[in-house]
Amino acid sequence: MKYFEDVRVGESDTLGSHTVSAEEIIAFAKKYDPQPFHTDPEAARATIFGGLIASGWHTCAIMMRLSVEAARRNRTVTTGSPGVDSCRWLKPVRPGDTLTGRAEVLETWPSRSRPIGFVRSRIEMVNQRGDIVMSLVGLAMYRRREGAA
């Protein structure tokens, strides 16, 4: 198991990849972000994006899925997140794009009141051309080893 004590500032990890289909872009957007450039390929062509693009919140969701799968592979003991310092949607995500996540630990500190520690990481989602489409800096809470001070 990977606990707070096992996390090192500067360590990085690849989170895995996901190829985004037009169907899933439209399904997510119809439910949560119904704007023409996310839901309607025809109407999207007339917008500044020139075609269908994924909701930024969909890209965040894909990042979360990849993060959960990576945590499972690494047997990491996390207990959720208090928030995100910043998130930028830097380039459009289009149907057929393959997004790969990568994460780097920026800072760690233990909670004074609870048996957890905080980890601040930068997570980037990169497409198949190497463009960073999304960059965020967020916090995660990790469990501490039993008996840790």
Partner 1 sequence: MSDLVYFEDVEVGQTKRFGRYEVTAAEIIEYARQFDPQPFHLDADAAQESMFGGLIASGWHTGAMFIRMVCEHAVPGTATTGALGFDDLKWLRPVLPGDVLSVETRIKEKVDQPGRHRVGTVKIEGRVLNQRDEAVMTLTSLVLYRRRPDP
Contact flag: residue 109 with partner 1 (CB under 8 A): no
Q: What's the CA gap between 116 and 121, in Å, rounded?
A: 16
In the bound state with partner 1, the residue whose beta carbon lies nearer, of 78 and 108, is 78
- Segment 11-30, which members bind partner 1 (CB under 8 A)? 28
Distance of CA 98 to the CA centre of its chain: 14
Contact 116, 79 (CB under 8 A): yes
φ, ψ of residue 37 to 5 degrees: the values are: -75, -10
The residue among 80 and 130 lying less far from partner 1, judged by its C-beta, is: 80
Rounded CA gap, 149 and 136, in Å? 30
Q: Does 101 participate in binding partner 1 (rule CB under 8 A)?
A: no
- Give contact residues for partner 1 (rule: CB under 8 A): 28, 31-35, 37, 47-49, 55-57, 60-62, 64-65, 68, 79-89, 134, 136
